[in-house]
Chains A and B, each alone.
Chain A
Amino acid sequence: DAKTTQPPSMDCAEGRAANLPCNHSTISGNEYVYWYRQIHSQGPQYIIHGLKNNETNEMASLIITEDRKSSTLILPHATLRDTAVYYCIVRIPYFGNEKLTFGTGTRLTIIP
């Protein structure tokens, strides 16, 4: 019952921008969009999150559509170390009963 849909895999050339889409058409007004990535046999690593405005940090940019039904994670200059599985999650926290589920994610492969 994952709330997000992502393509199963993508390739990107090293040095190019990697654009990873996520569909979250049932997102509610107070749910945030989070992006994590998981490199093989490690715990997920936080990348970025946002509500409705575009966000940028040292790792990536997050573009959320005006209707908030989809978003795109942008890695501006992909490197080989960006090869990982990227997960898009929507989250609505409230005391004591927050459920956090992952979709299938996108396996991003950076090509030399």
Chain B
Amino acid sequence: GAVVSQHPSRVICKSGTSVKIECRSLDFQATTMFWYRQFPKQSLMLMATSNEGSKATYEQGVEKDKFLINHASLTLSTLTVTSAHPEDSSFYICSAIPGTGSYEKLFFGSGTQLSVL
């Protein structure tokens, strides 16, 4: 089946540094990818929708200058947490849809646990 690879699975960084998380669709082209964050014991919160070749659409309350999303190809989207602070510590998950406009399954990455010291 289709696979979404997310890397790294865990990252620890110092406050003020930037962290990049990659999301790749391994065997399909993903016109649309989604980025979520999840706090402990809470549901997934949609941060932004990423469309290949265009600017990401951010949800209300998500700072686009803080969470930079790039979807430069049909198989890769990246989320960069800029100037990370401890409150940015969270579990980040990406997902991708094979075939825009279809009712195909969504596939999720395995997630990235970000810890900001």
Contacts and interface: CB of A to CB of B under 8 A. Distances in A.
Interface of A: 32, 34, 36, 38, 41-46, 49, 51, 85, 87, 91, 93-105
B97 A102 contact: no
B23 to A, nearest CB: 10
Given A98-B32, A102-B44, A103-B43, A46 B101 contact: no
Contacts of A46: 105-107
A99 B49 CA distance: 7
A43 B105 contact: no
B89 interface: no
Given A41-B91, A41-B111, A43-B111, A93 B97 contact: yes
Interface of B: 4, 6, 31-32, 34, 36, 43-46, 49, 51, 54, 57, 91, 93, 95, 97, 100-103, 105-111, 113
Given A43-B108, A44-B108, A93-B103, A98 B97 contact: yes
A96 B44 contact: no
A96 B100 contact: yes
Contact of A44 (B44, B51, B101, B113): B44
B36 to A, nearest CB: 8
B101 A94 contact: yes
A43 B43 contact: no
Contacts of A32: 103
A44 B95 CA distance: 9
Contacts of B51: 96
A41 B113 contact: yes
Given A96-B32, A96-B51, A100-B95, A105 B106 contact: no
Contacts of B106: 34, 36, 46, 91, 100
30 contacts: A36-B106, A38-B44, A41-B113, A43-B4, A43-B6, A43-B108, A43-B109, A43-B110, A44-B95, A46-B105, A46-B107, A49-B103, A85-B43, A87-B43, A91-B103, A91-B106, A93-B97, A93-B100, A94-B101, A95-B100, A96-B54, A96-B100, A98-B32, A100-B34, A100-B106, A102-B36, A102-B43, A102-B44, A102-B45, A104-B43
